[in-house]
Amino acid sequence: MIRPKTLKKGDTIGLMSASGATPSERLQPAIASIEKLGLKVVIGETCHARHGYLAGTDDQRAADVHRMFQDPTIDGIFCIRGGYGATKILPLLDFEVIKENPKVFAGYSDVTALHIALNQLCGFVTYHTPMPSTEFIRQEMDDYTWQSFRQHIMATEEETYYLENPADQSMSMLAAGSATGPLIGGNLTLVTASLGTSYEIDTKDKILFLEDIDESEQRVDRMLTQLKLAGKLDDAAGILLGAWTNCGPENPQKPEQSLSLQTIFQEILIPLNKPIISQVTCGHCLPTMSLPLGRTITMDADNQRICVVG
């Protein structure tokens, strides 16, 4: 797996959206947040465009992706936000062109669709990170989150290092054991949406990370069951569970008519007989860690340790 050159001060970022339209009042603060890192910004057409809930038409969003990867003056690409729409442009992308121009590519949530495709079809590491118009501009963007982001995007990456929660937030062992494999995944909804397509996630002998937001416990159950029936959970070497923000009962007034996430995880995941670490501080939350998708990691569930090894 190719590791794109990390960024340094003075490098140029291509800012774009493959998904939802960016509220106009968030654009300038998002640009300023990147410039505070010592980076220059080239603004993509999709930062201004709107096609309903999308950041321009499918053709516009695909063209922005191509432009950012093909432009030799652009050193890295930040997705300004998630939302919806990345899956729609996958058939329009020239993955051979993208493969020839590996560079830092960062974002999360709906961007999961592109992470899966770039990891599998282009063979380079991408980065599951907070985004400029949704986290960078928030006052709650804390030191831990910035440090984790810089460690992956801007620092000279060490060959071996640990992925650690904030000091006051412990990981938890859901199922014992250890495993080693490439780190993949992201948002559960987008991972599940890849099934049955040309861009279906390959979990064979890999470490699968999952998180989500605003999904009822019943829908989380449904999606995990679909992954199970498709063989994706059985194929994985191990599983990491991140934040499940606002994922509660369908009817909050009658929680007894739902199943807790813990019960769902116990019933679907524990019988897989493979290591599982939960409460990884990553996803639609702050603080949040950044993840190097495509890099090889070793997970030790017994000791709740996650180490990047290759």
Question: Do 199 and 303 have their domain in common?
Answer: yes
If residue 14 lies in a helix (H) or strand (E), which one and from where to where? strand 12-16
Question: Do 138 and 213 have their domain in common?
Answer: no
What residue type is assigned to position 184 of the chain? I
Question: Do 19 and 133 have their domain in common?
Answer: yes
Q: Which residues pair with 162 in a beta bridge?
A: 307
Question: Do 302 and 186 have their domain in common?
Answer: yes
**What pairing do the DSSP bridges indicate for beta strands 161-162 and 305-308?**
antiparallel
The active-site residue out of 17, 19, 109, 133 is: 109
Over the range 201-236, which residues count as b (16 or more CB within 10 Å of their CB) and which as e? bebeebbbbbbbbebbbebbbebbebbeebebbeeb
- Backbone dihedral angles phi then psi of residue 29, each to the nearest 5 degrees: -60, -35
2 lies in a domain? Answer: no
Q: Does the annotation count 250 as an active-site position? A: no
Q: Which of 221, 212, 209, 219 is nearest to 285 (CA)?
A: 212
Question: Do 106 and 193 have their domain in common?
Answer: no
The active-site residue out of 211, 215, 258, 290 is: 211
What residue type is assigned to position 23 of the chain? P
Question: Do 272 and 255 have their domain in common?
Answer: yes
- For the chain, how many structural domains are there in total? 2
Instruction: Spell out the per-residue pLDDT of the chain, length 310, in tens.
Output: 999 999 999 999 999 999 999 999 999 999 999 999 999 999 999 999 999 999 999 999 999 999 999 999 999 999 999 999 999 999 999 999 999 999 999 999 999 999 999 999 999 999 999 999 999 999 889 999 999 999 999 976 678 999 999 999 999 999 999 999 999 999 999 999 999 999 999 999 999 999 999 999 999 999 999 999 999 999 999 999 999 999 999 888 888 889 999 999 999 999 999 999 999 999 999 999 999 999 999 999 999 999 999 8
51 lies in a domain? Answer: yes
196 lies in a domain? Answer: yes
Count of CB atoms within 10 A of residue 272's CB?
Answer: 15
Question: Do 148 and 172 have their domain in common?
Answer: no
Count of CB atoms within 10 A of residue 64's CB?
Answer: 24
5 lies in a domain? Answer: no
Question: Do 200 and 287 have their domain in common?
Answer: yes
Q: Which residues pair with 263 in a beta bridge?
A: none
Q: Does the annotation count 211 as an active-site position? A: yes
Question: Do 171 and 125 have their domain in common?
Answer: no
* Domain-ending residue, one of 118, 153, 188: 153
Cα–Cα distance measured from residue 305 to residue 310, given in angstroms and rounded to the nearest whole number: 16
Rounded (10°) angle between helices 217-229 and 261-268: 10
The active-site residue out of 115, 128, 152, 284 is: 284
Q: Does the annotation count 96 as an active-site position? A: no
What residue type is assigned to position 31 of the chain? I
Whole-model pTM: value is 0.97
If residue 241 lies in a helix (H) or strand (E), which one and from where to where? strand 238-245
* Domain-ending residue, one of 153, 182, 206: 153
Question: Do 122 and 238 have their domain in common?
Answer: no
Q: Which domain holds residue 253?
A: 161-308
Question: Do 166 and 109 have their domain in common?
Answer: no
